[in-house]
Amino acid sequence: MRPSGASRAVGVIVSPRVLLLIFFAVLAGAGTALSPCVLPVLPALLSAGGVGGRRRPIGVVVGLTVTFTITIVGVANVVGGVGLGSDPLREVAVAVLLAAGVALIVPGLADRLEARLSRLAALGPSSRGDGFRSGLLVGGALGFVYTPCAGPILAAVISVSAASGSAVAVAIAYALGSAIVLFALTLGGRSLFDRVRAAGRGPTLQRVLGVVMLATAAAILFGADVSFDQYIAEHIPEVNLASSLEKSHVVESRLHELTGHSAKFATGAKTAVASRDASQQTLLMDAQELKDLGPAPEFTGTQRWFNTPSDRPLPLASLRGRVVLVDFWTYTCINCIRTLPYLKAWDTAYRRAGLTIVGVHTPEFAFEHDAGNVENAIARFGLRYPVVQDNNMGTWNAYGNQYWPADYLIDAKGHVRYASAGEGDYSHTETAIRALLALAGAHVGGATSHPKDVVTPTEVATPETYLGTARAQGWRNGPLPGVHDYGASAASGLGLSEFAYTGTWSISSQPATALADAGVDVEFEAKNVYLVLSSQGGRPRQVQVLLDGKPISPADAGADVHGGALTVKGQRLYWLVSLPADQRHRLSLRFDPGISGYAFTFG
């Protein structure tokens, strides 16, 4: 019930949930300021606060904090994961640091710059030589470089708080936690520098600090800070205090309670969903969250290779130094087919950066063992990455895999770092790809893929079923092994997701082969209907397709149906029905003799 506007409470009521988020953010911000990612900017921070008036350290920290807060709230996509396109903002930081460094080296230039900033600013009285405004400028520039330090906990708490309108408060709390620690560090450096100045070394100190700022600008310009973060992420990942906080049992359990969902994947690996313009530093932070699941098994027990030089084998050991995505699939699996647009897009976007995708084709049906069928499917789907046949499930068993499709992401050292089964999780998978590429030294900050012809399945659909005896479910009158006459159609009495044979069929463990007057009726609920079919001897044969007792209309027909019928030639998945939305209908199929059916799928 909405309260009346006649009376209003005075003050602001903050929910315990928001207070908890703010508490986590303050702790994470403080931990971030003590983490390795701040080390590349720390010399410039101390140099900027170590000269000028006594208010200059305040200006430096305030400038950094304001820039940092505005960036993570306004520039970054906080709901999708905190990230920042690095190049433009890093260039701003380099320019300001260069100017500040020169100003410290050239006698009198710093004072003239401070005086000009004082006249331009409308924030108070004229300059008293306290250095506050020039500190704001330098600190603001450093904030652009410091922003990528924001860790996954910030992305998590902001994602939760965004819906309740408290994202800004959480971001400010995170920045405040960092500011407190950074201010303490700046004051400590200032105290040390005051002792040096008291010894009569003030001019020399100022020039040294100017050189430090120039060196910092050069390091940022040439990516030395990114390389440093990469080294830390690869060799000393547990030194990050914010990461320790994020991984703690208390925080994980409380964030899980607040979000209502877990970020864990099938094997326990996890990562945030980085924004599309996430910077190199952000991706390196994501890489730290990917657990080492052990050495990746070699491709074993395989047959023919496709899309490799001269179709030669491509051992996993030969790909050391590259990031490898092993994708288990089979060409008649609709779930696998729906993942192909993403795989192709990742191959296009990241191959040059060091990604190799290897499709491991592990067949489900007997005809999928045929190399010619696999080759035709590769060409039909437009796959350009390497594919290998795994007819005897050698590689499948080496990975302990259980699903079509399934993806295993391997780092440049040959260790599995991420695994995902089934459709979905595309954003998580792409983040893991980009993170491991960044860890391998590739500069992919800001890079993204662009999948085409994506098909999103409906959430509620009739379950898949098989026409053979091995895995059939939902059939009202079978299937029975051997040759059997199932009689006339019983479609009018079918319930939702029930199937029925009509006519004479020869049924084995996998396929069911149509003989005389053969048909199938099903009452389904879905948007799309698919059926794996083959024709004996490869001779073209037809299947009549009826929807609710009438020949299916062109508007509702799948891509393989023309004029109310489909022609079966190759051994593959055929698209029968394509509706504008999830709907319930009765589908009736009438088969020419000699056509074999394998499996229905819906989506």
* pLDDT mean over 395-418: 89
Confidence at residue 211, expressed as pLDDT on a 0 to 100 scale? 82
Contact present, 433 and 440 (Cβ < 8 Å): no
Q: What is the pLDDT of residues 186-211, one digit of tens each?
A: 777 777 777 766 776 666 766 777 78
Lowest mean pLDDT among 233-242, 297-306, 407-416: 233-242
Confidence at residue 64, expressed as pLDDT on a 0 to 100 scale? 79
For residue 282, what is the enclosing H or E element?
helix 280-288
On the question of pLDDT at 93 being above 50, the answer is yes
Confidence at residue 148, expressed as pLDDT on a 0 to 100 scale? 53
Beta strands in 372-415 (DSSP E): 387-389, 406-410
The larger pLDDT score, comparing residue 582 to residue 195, is at: 582
Average pLDDT, the chain: 76
* pLDDT mean over 142-167: 53
- Selection from 293, 228, 225, 302 nearest residue 265 by Cα: 293
Equal fold, 305-439 vs 465-602: no
What are the residue boundaries of the structural domains of the chain, listed by start? 16-247, 305-439, 465-602
CA–centroid distance for 358 within its chain:
19
Alpha-carbon distance of 419 to 406, in angstroms, equals 7
Confidence at residue 386, expressed as pLDDT on a 0 to 100 scale? 96
Lowest mean pLDDT among 142-156, 201-215, 362-376: 142-156
- Selection from 521, 579, 534, 523 nearest residue 552 by Cα: 579
Tokens of 237: 């990942």
On the question of pLDDT at 404 being above 50, the answer is yes
> Cα–Cα–Cα angle for 285, 289, 290, nearest 5°?
120
The larger pLDDT score, comparing residue 11 to residue 482, is at: 482
Q: Could you tell me the pLDDT band of residue 591, with boundaries at 50, 70 and 90?
A: very high
Confidence at residue 37, expressed as pLDDT on a 0 to 100 scale? 61
Alpha-carbon distance of 119 to 122, in angstroms, equals 8
Q: What one-letter code names the amino acid at 373? A: N
**CATH for the stretch 305-439:** 3.40.30.10
On the question of pLDDT at 364 being above 70, the answer is yes
Q: Is 32 helix (H, G, I), strand (E, B) or coil?
A: helix
Backbone angles phi, psi at 157, to 5 degrees: -70, -35
Contact present, 272 and 431 (Cβ < 8 Å): yes
Alpha-carbon distance of 121 to 115, in angstroms, equals 10
DSSP code of 567? E
Alpha-carbon distance of 443 to 437, in angstroms, equals 8
DSSP code of 198? I
Cα-Cα-Cα-Cα dihedral sign, residues 244, 247, 253, 255: positive
Determine whether 140 is exposed, middle or buried from the number of CB atoms within 10 Å of its CB (0-12, 13-18, 19+): buried
**CATH for the stretch 465-602:** 2.60.120.260
Alpha-carbon distance of 172 to 167, in angstroms, equals 9
Confidence at residue 281, expressed as pLDDT on a 0 to 100 scale? 72
Tokens of 50: 């170590």
On the question of pLDDT at 348 being above 60, the answer is yes
* pLDDT mean over 34-46: 69
Q: Could you tell me the pLDDT band of residue 255, with boundaries at 50, 70 and 90?
A: very low
Block residue for tokens 């040390």: 192
| Tally of CB atoms within 10 A around 205 | 18
For residue 416, what is the enclosing H or E element?
strand 416-421
Q: Is 178 helix (H, G, I), strand (E, B) or coil?
A: helix
Q: What is the pLDDT of residues 554-580, one digit of tens each?
A: 999 999 999 999 999 888 999 999 999
Backbone angles phi, psi at 204, to 5 degrees: -65, -45
SS3 per residue for 217-264: HHHHHCCHHHHHHHHHHHHCHHHCHHHHHHHCHHHHHHHHHHHCCCCE
Contact present, 172 and 69 (Cβ < 8 Å): yes
Q: What is the pLDDT of residues 425-439, one digit of tens each?
A: 788 888 888 889 988
Q: What is the pLDDT of residues 97-129, one digit of tens each?
A: 677 667 667 766 555 555 554 443 333 333 344
